[in-house]
Amino acid sequence: MTVSDLTIRADAVQSFLAREGWAGNNVLHTPITDGWDLKTITRLKKADGQSAILMVWAGSNIHLGTFLFVADTLRAAGFSAPEIYAADLDNEIILVEDFGDMHFNNAVAMGEDYRDLFFQAAGILKLFRHKFSRPIDKLPTYLGSRLHRAKEYILRFYLKGTEDQIKKYNNLWKDFEKDLPPCPETFLHGDYDFQNLMWLPGRDNHLRVGLIDFGSAMWAQAPYDLVNLLETVRSDIPEDLRAELKAFYCEGMTEEEQKHFNIWYDVMAFQFHSRVIGQIEDLDRDDLRIYTPRVRNYIRAHLQKEIFKDFRLWFEAQGFDV
Q: Work out the average pLDDT over 98-117.
A: 97
pLDDT of residue 8: 61
* 3 within 8 A of 38, measured Cβ to Cβ: yes
211 three-state secondary structure: strand
Residue 275 has pLDDT above 90, yes or no: yes
Q: Where are the alpha helices (DSSP H) in the chain?
A: 4-8, 10-19, 64-76, 104-109, 114-131, 146-149, 153, 163-178, 223-230, 239-249, 255-283, 286-289, 292-303, 309-317
CATH: 3.40.605.10, 3.40.50.1980, 3.40.50.720, 3.90.1200.10. Which one for 104-317?
A: 3.90.1200.10
Query: Where exactly are the structural domains of the chain?
Result: 4-96, 104-317
pLDDT tens-place string over residues 56-80 = 987 655 678 888 999 999 999 999 9
- Name the nearest CA neighbour of 180 among 312, 268, 52, 295: 268
| Biggest CA pair distance of the chain | 65
pTM tops 0.75, yes or no? yes
Q: Where are the alpha helices (DSSP H) in 179-222?
A: none
Determine the Cα–Cα distance for residues 44 and 20; give it in Å rounded to an integer: 12
- Name the residue with higher pLDDT: 15 or 62: 15
pLDDT of residue 63: 72
Task: Give the pairing type, strands 185-188 and 197-199.
Answer: unpaired
pLDDT tens-place string over residues 17-40 = 999 999 998 999 999 876 666 678
Q: Do domains 4-96 and 104-317 have the same CATH topology?
A: no
Tell how far CA 27 is from the center of its chain.
31
Report the percent of the chain where pLDDT is more than 70: 95
- Name the nearest CA neighbour of 322 among 270, 285, 282: 270
Work out the pLDDT band at 120, boundaries 50, 70, 90. very high
pLDDT tens-place string over residues 165-207 = 999 999 999 999 999 999 989 999 999 999 999 999 999 999 9
One-character DSSP codes across 49-87: S-EEEEEEESS-SS-HHHHHHHHHHHHHTT-B---EEEE
* 40 within 8 A of 93, measured Cβ to Cβ: no
pLDDT of residue 308: 98
Work out the pLDDT band at 1, boundaries 50, 70, 90. very low
CATH of domain 4-96: 3.30.200.20
